[in-house]
Amino acid sequence: MQQPQTPAKLPFQPLLLIAPFFFWGTAMVAMKGLLPQTTPFFMAGVRLVPAGVLVILAGILSGRPQPKGWQAWLWISIFGLVDATLFQGFLAQGLVRTGAGLGSVMIDSQPLAVAILSLWLFQETIGFWGWLGLAIGIIGISFIGLPDDWILGLLNSELLTTSIDISQLFNSGQLLMLLAALSMAVGTVLVRWVCRYADPVVGTGWHMIIGGLPLFGLSAISETQQWQNIDLSGWVAMGYSTVFGSAISYGLFFYFASSGSLTSLSSLTFLTPVFALLFGNFFLQEVLSPLQSLGVCLTLVSIYLVNQRETLAEKFKLKGSQDFTPSEPTQANSLELSVEIHEVETSQSASLHPKM
């Protein structure tokens, strides 16, 4: 069994931690712009298989070991089915029915599921500030992703009188994006088992290849004209989604997830819809409403709370201990206090009544 090794601190590590979420957010915009020229399953397969080959080549060049034994390949295959086939399949199909920014928001509801799974499986507690941050994050992405009339009706206590068309929500792709979010959450947790038997970077590359091949099979069965209509800008967008949106971002994400806090890392996925919304507005003219802008602000607050939860807990703990005054002294303290009082009274008595 190969034990996961704690990675050394990389240069510019804070930027590298954020990089996957920047690439994922901008890749969503590139994929959405590419969809009129191609088909969902084919696009998802191209995003995975070539990227997996690049990751494996990078692993070979850096001297990382290849997976060995049936347990390693079993966990990589399960990882590939959940985090590659299901996640990318749901994402691509959902992206057909929703915008890049809103679709990214629905996917990035997954940190709450990761926190619950990590608490259950790894006893990775996050405390009051972590849960508060996750709750604010869910509210934020709800403001971004749900229809404005739903939110306003709820705030005005008029939700029951508001016309709600659930089928409209699901048909627009949100349900598929939520399923993609659940698949990604389970995949984020599964990487811990993969890293027990395989190198995290090489395992990530193989899971992309294994998970991408079924998507090509689905494309061959159910889709036509997959690449005939793609122009030069479309191939550039496809290349960006493959190299930056998959190979580099997946490699970095699961490199950090293999040893760090899953909840802290996963909470940074709240950045993905921020990048997707900003670039979607610039390139695809996807405009934010006031409620969605508020949701972006809440999302940033949630990221701060979750990632600084230990610092905040320690800070408030120390502050509370400094302000704490015991209401009931112990027996030893009571004895010392009574001795001090007796000495003070004796001293005062001597000063008030000097010896004659």
Supply the pTM of this predicted model: 0.70
- Give the tokens for residue 298: 């809440």
Tokens standing for residue 191: 């990487």
Distances (CA, A) of 306 to 63, 106, 185, 191: 35, 19, 17, 21
Q: Which residues contact 238 (CB under 8 A, 6 or more apart)?
A: 30, 34, 38, 43, 46, 47, 230
Q: What is the CA radius of gyration of the chain?
A: 27
Whether 138 is in a domain gets the answer: yes
Cα distances (Å, whole numbers) of residue 205 to 30, 119, 151, 213, 272: 22, 27, 41, 13, 22
Q: For residue 234, tell me if it sits in a domain.
A: yes
Residue 348: the pLDDT is: 41
Alpha helix stretches (DSSP H) within the chain: 13-34, 40-61, 70-80, 87-97, 100-107, 110-122, 127-145, 148-155, 166-171, 174-197, 200-222, 232-242, 249-257, 262-267, 271-284, 290-307, 309-323, 331-352
Question: In the chain, what is the straight-line distance between the N-terminal and C-terminal CA atoms, in Å?
Answer: 90
Helix (H, G, I), strand (E, B) or coil at 200: helix
Does 307 fall in a domain? yes
Domain count, the chain: 1
In a domain, 62, yes or no: yes
Q: pLDDT tens digits for the chain (356 residues)?
A: 444 444 455 556 667 788 888 888 888 888 888 989 999 999 999 999 999 999 899 889 989 999 999 999 999 999 999 989 999 999 888 888 777 666 676 676 676 667 777 777 766 677 888 888 888 888 887 787 677 777 776 767 655 444 555 555 555 566 788 788 888 888 878 887 888 899 888 998 999 999 999 999 999 999 999 999 999 999 999 999 999 988 888 778 767 766 565 556 666 766 777 787 777 777 776 677 788 778 878 877 887 787 677 778 888 876 655 554 444 444 444 444 344 434 444 444 433 333 33
**Residues near 28 by beta carbon (within 8 Å), at least 6 away in sequence:** 95, 100, 101, 103, 104, 245, 272, 276, 280
Q: Which domain holds residue 27?
A: 22-320
355 belongs to a structural domain = no
What was the pLDDT predicted at 97?
A: 79
- The answer to whether residue 342 sits within a structural domain is no
Nearest to 40 by CA among 76, 83, 85: 85
Q: Say if 341 falls within a structural domain.
A: no
Q: Residue 150 and residue 148: Cα distance in Å, rounded?
A: 5
- Whether 191 is in a domain gets the answer yes
Query: So what's the pLDDT on residue 259?
Result: 59
Evaluated on CA atoms 50, 51, 53, 58, the torsion sign reads positive
pLDDT value of position 239: 93
CA 9, 13, 18, 23: dihedral to nearest 10 degrees?
A: -90
Token pair for 92? 């691509």
